[in-house]
Amino acid sequence: MKKVVITGGLGFIGFHLSQRLLENGYEVIAIDERQVDRQKEREEMQMRLGRNALYKLIEEKIEEVDLKEVINDADVVFHFAALTKHDNKWPRLQEVISRNVLLTKEVIKNMSKSSRFIFPSTVQVYGERPGLITEKTPTNPTTAYGITKLASETLIMKLANELDLSYLIFRLPTIYGPFQRTDMTYQQFLNGVEQPNMDRSQMDVVYIDDVIDAFMLSVTTSHTNEIFHIATGKLGEWQRGVELLGHKWTAKSGFKTTLSTEKAKQLLGFEVQTSLEEGIQKQVEHEKQMNQNNWSSDSD
């Protein structure tokens, strides 16, 4: 049985990954500090995960956790935790980079050489560019978020080389599905927001179960020390999702960008399985169920 540690384990991706790992017999230790917001969602997540004896939640700030004790004997570490509240604010950029890079450094330094480090980055590291983007396309982030992620990527590759650790970096587009964050466009539409903020990345969109498929493949693949796109590779999928939710979308630029998925297909054996129509329907049904449960609870 493998031991897996997930920082940010009660986040959108962290929760779904924990579920899948537990279903496959892995021991999961999640680190995620207590938060005032998203309380009902977190309670639901903890209830679903806490039923499994292989699951443990450390509900503390990661800076206050004894990482050496928790991480040193882990087979795999998924590092999702980051200071994200201000990661799209240019005035706070240096603070966010410093804190996130320092946090990433501390996690890696406390790993054993037999461990594997897996990190979710973003396609925003490429900036705004037209055409087909591959993992070899030069990076040129134009958002604060993209800059912070690229800084972490650079650190990971440097430290992994120095410490002889294996790593995988996934550059992700927008992810959607049940328990999507409330600041994301699809979820805002479902919550009745008439003019929501647009997602930071509109290059592509992938359903959460497919993203988890990729992360599960990262646990066992022999192709380490690599960067992969996890995407559909289709043009205009994010925009089509907005339309499936019954809303109009107007492009802000004339850029037509597609993400190459060939490397992930060839080396990881990864391909998206969930159609946009199916994924949107699952998120809609989940939201209806959550609203019914909240209504029943509030009326008792």
Segment 201-225, tens digit of pLDDT? 899 999 999 999 999 999 999 999 9
Average pLDDT of span 261-265: 98
Model confidence at 34: pLDDT above 80: no
pLDDT band at 296 (very low <50, low <70, confident <90, very high): very low
Q: Are 66 and 121 in contact (CB under 8 A)?
A: no
Domain boundaries, the chain: 3-299
Structure tokens at 150: 């690229």
Model confidence at 299: pLDDT above 50: no
pLDDT band at 84 (very low <50, low <70, confident <90, very high): low
Q: Which comes out higher in pLDDT, residue 83 or 28?
A: 28
Q: Are 19 and 215 in contact (CB under 8 A)?
A: no
Q: How far apart are CA 148 and CA 169, in angstroms?
A: 14
CB atoms within 10 A of CB 80: 22
Q: How far apart are CA 222 and CA 219, in angstroms?
A: 9
Q: How far apart are CA 173 and CA 178, in angstroms?
A: 17
Q: How far apart are CA 33 and CA 63, in angstroms?
A: 10
Q: Are 167 and 140 in contact (CB under 8 A)?
A: no
Structure tokens at 104: 């990433």
Q: How far apart are CA 124 and CA 105, in angstroms?
A: 22
At 286, which amino acid appears?
A: H
Q: What is the largest CA-CA distance in the chain?
A: 58
- Considering the four listed CATH numbers 2.50.20.10, 3.40.190.10, 3.40.50.720, 3.40.50.2300, the one that applies to the domain covering 3-299 is 3.40.50.720
pLDDT for the residue numbered 294: 64
- Residue 264: partners with Cβ closer than 8 Å, 6 or more residues away: 214, 228, 229, 230, 270
Pairing of strands 257-259, 76-79: unpaired
Q: How far apart are CA 76 and CA 60, in angstroms?
A: 20
- In terms of Cβ atoms closer than 10 Å to its own Cβ (0-12, 13-18, 19+), residue 239 is middle
Backbone conformation region of residue 77, classed left if phi is above 0, alpha if psi is from -120 to 50, else beta: beta
Of the chain, the percentage scoring pLDDT greater than 90 comes to 69
